[in-house]
Amino acid sequence: MMESIKTTTQHLEINILKEIGAAVKRMGMYPLEHPAAIKATEKPFLTLQEIFKDTDQVTISQVDDKIIVNGISVTGELLPERLKEEFQDQDINSLTFFNTLTKEELSKFLNFFVKPLGKNTPKRSLTEFLRKNKIGSIQVNELRYELVSDDEVVVKSGVLEGADLKAEISKIIKQDPGLVRDVLLNKPLEQESFKERLGTEVNLDQLTQGIQQQVKNLTDDEILSLLSSGLESTLTESKGESKNSTLNKVANLLNRLLENREREKLLPEVKKMLSGYRVLEDKCLDFVFDEKWLKSQAVLEEVMEMVDKLGKEGVDFERFMFLLDRVIDSEEQKIRLHIVDKLLSNLNSKSSETRRLSVLALKEILSRLISGKMEVEFVYLKDRLYDKIRDQLLPAYILKDSTELVKIIFFEIIQRKEFEEAKKIISEYNSRLSHEVSCPEQTREIAKYFLKEVSDKSTLSLLTTQLKEGQPLQNTKTIEEILESLDKNKVAQELLEIFTADDRAARISSVRVLSKLGQSSITALSGLLSNVNSFSREEGTRLLLDEHWYKVRNAIYVLGNIPAPSSVEVMVKLNSDPDPRVRLEVIKALEKIGKEESVDALVTFLKDRDDQVRRNVITSLSIVGERRCLISLINHFHHNRKDNIFTLTAIGRIGGVETMRFLLKLLSEEDSGIKHLPNRQKEEIRITALNILGRIGSDGSPQLGTPNLAEEIETFIKHRKRGIRAFLAKDPLAEAADRTLKMIKSRT
């Protein structure tokens, strides 16, 4: 795209140049924090803001002797001296200020041009300065300009190539030895980094070829200078890596820089230079300078011979690791796979030392395969190790060594989110913990160790994050299965962080997994529910804050899914919580558990002050249906008149001989709980008892020890119909008894 730019005069464009120059001078007279230095930024900042009212950016550029501000040509002398120096020294075409610029960013930018008095400061890169200070609102060479005629300039966009690129390469070789090294070692280059640096795309093929050609044309002194800079950046970047990895990077760099040169002439200087870094030992230097180690076939032969002798006398393991790194760096995939096979076969050795050294070598290989993104070799090694651990008869000592390598692979595939692969590996270790499989105790311990090791914070955090972010159904199922299989205690604690997440699917998944972790979940939830900080309440009320209520509710729900005495013990402690929602939730959970374990806990809620809580627990007891709660319900019937009809109905649902006898006592007014009640209430209770008896029915089988209900009801009806009372008014109780008798007889 081409855009014409005309020559004119406009005061804002002129002002911004003057004010930048004045600000730099003023800032040079005072310390950075001085009010006068701070104030110096105000004028240019306000002028930029004025210009930003009409445009999103302000670009200052120099084309020959012309200064262009946003396409406006102004007098060349107006460009501030320090800015002019920077344009010339660093081959800057343009500076662009974007409307997101802050006053603090502008102040830092202006201070870059202030030279300390009396000091010869080393040259600094403006581009690097802006990057380090994270000033994204000012960019170098965002736009480039070309002179069309004496009075016309055009904006030029496109890919940097040809003569322009050649000039840029000369600057790169002087200023960026790290990039030169990457090109020489055939490392991939990223277009984005050049856009940030040069403001335009670069022809990467031309750049690579140009750097390689210019390096060939350098003098020996220039090569040594480039080597010194390249070594410094290589050693800085290699901090924390193994010595052999660093050594091989140095060897590769030397090999490329000294290619087609008189090595014997340069080696003394190079050795002296390397010795100064005190990173490489003398014998390592000898490796580097012996050309045979740079030839893959010679290296392979030496390595193969040493692999066969690993763990035996006469093998220099340090030298072996150096040569192994050379093999990994080779471009021949078959060679790498061949070495992997040989080392894997060493894991079957009876010699513990051979296995130990082979594991160390394979760990180094794995590390390099991962960092170098050698996918074919990584998958090959992963599959070979998986085949090993699948063997249920694998001796414990081989499983132990293999597990050290499988751990590394597991962490990598988890980071890659290859969850099905991770699940396959975990399944093999879990199978050794199954009660259905007979395994030596040592093998079981190795499986436990693996599952505990891979259940680290990073793995669990990644898995739970995936649940929070939402996954396809199959992925979610796989992640849940992985979590269920890892260290249960660690997983339970991690899931407490998300089991009240905003995302419904994440909540469901976490609750589902927690419900399957048994005692581990109970322990984790017990800690949560015994912490007073989990029970913050709304001011002036008994209700929990929403955040705490959701957490407590979900905790109770999970406990209700784990039918264990310890789960009931945790919940029953909440029977006096001031928030009735908590007590109601506990009742639901205890009902879900059912069985004998929950009955005693449910009974404790019969004394609750809240009507709804009592009625819910009465219903729950009737649903659980354990007859041993009848005594508690009958006692509640006797002592709580408010609930007596509700309680009576629940007793009827439980049924049984004890229930029938109790109901018949109510009918005959033999029960102490009915004698002193008002007649109306007494009649309501007796009618309810009759209705329940009608639903229960009986064939009166004597061997069952059950009362013959038909006979009992007939006797009651006869008694009610005696005397004048039966003729004077309707008798609802007698009518209810008639209906009950018909129901019973219809079943016999």
349-396, pLDDT tens digit by residue? 999 999 999 999 999 899 989 988 889 999 999 999 999 999 999 999
Q: How many CB atoms lie within 10 A of CB 404?
A: 15
Tokens read off for 281: 């030992």
CA distance 725 to 575: 50
Name the residue type at position 278. Answer: R
CA distance 115 to 109: 13
Tokens read off for 215: 């390096």
Is the pLDDT reported for residue 598 higher than 60?
A: yes
- Summarize the confidence of residues 400-413 as an average pLDDT: 96
pLDDT of residue 53: 86
Find residue 147's DSSP bridge partners.
Answer: 153
Convert 161-197 to b/e letters by CB count within 10 Å (16 or more is b).
beebbeebbeebbeebbebbbbbbeeeebeeeebbeb
Give 3-state DSSP helix, strand, coil % of the chain, rounded to 5. Answer: 70, 5, 25
Q: What is the DSSP string of 172-198?
A: HHHH-HHHHHHHHTTPPP-HHHHHHHH
Which residue from 506, 417, 497, 403 is spatially nearest to 459, judged by alpha carbons? 417
Q: How many CB atoms lie within 10 A of CB 291?
A: 11
Lowest mean pLDDT among 30-34, 291-295, 299-303, 498-502: 291-295
- Three-class SS of residue 640? coil
Total-model pTM:
0.59
302 φ/ψ sector (left φ>0, alpha ψ -120 to 50, else beta): alpha
Tokens read off for 84: 């002019």
CA distance 600 to 621: 10
pLDDT of residue 721: 76
Find residue 156's DSSP bridge partners.
Answer: 144
Tokens read off for 244: 């052999």
Confidence of residue 728 (pLDDT cuts 50, 70, 90): low
Helix (H) or strand (E) holding 188: none
10 Å CB burial of residue 641 (0-12, 13-18, 19+) is middle
Confidence of residue 60 (pLDDT cuts 50, 70, 90): confident
Name the residue type at position 656. Answer: G
Any idea what the Cα angle at residue 80 is, between residues 75 and 82, rounded to 5°?
145
Tokens read off for 598: 């929950």
**pLDDT tens column, 548-586:** 999 999 999 999 999 999 999 999 999 999 999 999 999
Residue that wins the pLDDT comparison between 390 and 131:
390
Q: Where are the alpha helices (DSSP H) in 349-418?
A: 352-371, 375-390, 396-415
* Beta carbons of 599 and 628 less than 8 angstroms apart: yes
pLDDT of residue 701: 47
Tokens read off for 577: 């919580």
